[in-house]
Amino acid sequence: MEKLTGIFAAMVTPFNEDGSLNEQAVGETVNFLIENQKVDGLYINGSTGEFLASNCATQQKILELVAKAANGRIQLIAQVGNLDYNQSIYLGKIAKDLNYDAISAVTPYYYGFSFKDVYNYYKKIIDGTGMNMFVYYLPQLTNISLSIAEFGKLLSLDKVVGVKFSATNLFELERLKNAYPDLNILYGWDEMLVAGALLGVDGFIGSTYNANAILARKILVAAKSGNISEAVQLQHQYNNYISDLVANNLMGTLKAIIHLKGYGDLTYSKIAYAPIEKEELLKNAQNIIDKYLS
């Protein structure tokens, strides 16, 4: 397959206050990201999409609604990782039927897993779906760290075409890129986007691109044009935006921003954040719009 490139929003999932999926808002969110933020692709049912708080039926519905709304306009990756790899296979088959460009799966988490376990997990999902696979590498949350040699063993699996590299270790990223120059690397650490660009990764997946992919693209353009000082200054601006986002219920605030921009109902997060009043959520979102997105 051709490499997937550009800026991918790790799309938020719009839930109603009672925790049910707001199906209309899914389509509105897709349209916002394509029309307003000009993203190149969407990463669906990832951490930002709150897959850990969504059952299999909900994740399937999201995949279907996104594919319908996107209608072939952008690249789509479905995150299907789960400790029950049978569910991963099921969702991977759904993504295949819906013509997603690839699937991705977070490494196994919570329990202690050996590399043999990790290898077997990806092999089962690939064998069961026949889909191109991006390994979702997030060691700071999954407690699964892979050596460069172990990455190589995963890459020997048919259909493993890339890595969503969301680790913070830039040395490891450079070593991975150096060892496997043909690997399709999608970098998932928004706070260091400029570093990923300079290291030559192929694309970027992040939560914060749900509302500010425009500035993220300016960073990429500056970095790739050799305007390093400008790129670094833009990254400083971007990180100020990120700091304000993460201080104010990240997923909820992103959804409120999309609503305030005129795309769909106000929707909510299912993750167990401390409760926040609707008025405060909207106020925080409007402050971020006024400060960074106007």
pLDDT tens digits, 47-56: 999 999 999 9
Catalytic residue among 121, 137, 164, 263: 164
What number is the average pLDDT over the span 147-151?
Answer: 98
pLDDT computed for residue 80 by the predictor: 99
Residues 212, 238: contact at Cβ < 8 Å? yes
The contacts of residue 40 (CB under 8 Å, 6+ apart) are 5, 6, 7, 8, 74, 75, 203
Please report the pLDDT score of residue 225 as a whole number: 97
Mean pLDDT value across the chain: 97
CB 223 within 8 A of CB 198: yes
Phi-psi region of 174 (alpha: psi -120 to 50; beta: other; left: phi over 0): alpha
93 is catalytic: no
Question: What's the whole-number mean pLDDT along residues 162-179?
Answer: 97
**What is the pLDDT at residue 272?**
75
In this prediction, residue 294 carries a pLDDT of 87
**pLDDT tier for residue 273 given thresholds of 50, 70 and 90:** confident
Q: Is the pLDDT of residue 204 over 90?
A: yes
Q: Give the pLDDT confidence score for residue 85 in this predicted structure.
A: 93
Contact 60, 91 (CB under 8 A): yes
Q: Which amino acid is at 89?
A: I
pLDDT value of residue 130: 98
Confidence of residue 8 (pLDDT cuts 50, 70, 90): very high
Please indicate whether residue 164 is annotated as part of the active site.
yes
User: Each residue of 50-92: pLDDT tens digit?
Assistant: 999 999 999 999 999 999 999 999 999 999 999 999 999 999 9
Q: Which CATH superfamily is domain 6-293 in?
A: Aldolase class I (3.20.20.70)
pLDDT tens across 11-29, in order?
Answer: 999 999 999 999 999 999 9
Q: For the chain, what percent of residues have pLDDT higher than 90?
A: 96
Where exactly are the structural domains of the chain?
6-293
Beta pairing partners, 85? none
83 touches 50 (CB < 8 A): no
Prediction pTM value = 0.97
Residue type, 15: F
DSSP codes of every residue in 108-147 = P-SS---HHHHHHHHHHHHHHH---EEEEE-HHHH-----
Catalytic residue among 85, 100, 122, 136: 136
163 DSSP β-pair partners: 135, 185
- Using CA atoms, how far residue 199 sits from 24, 170, 223, 239, 255, in Å, is 39, 9, 10, 19, 31
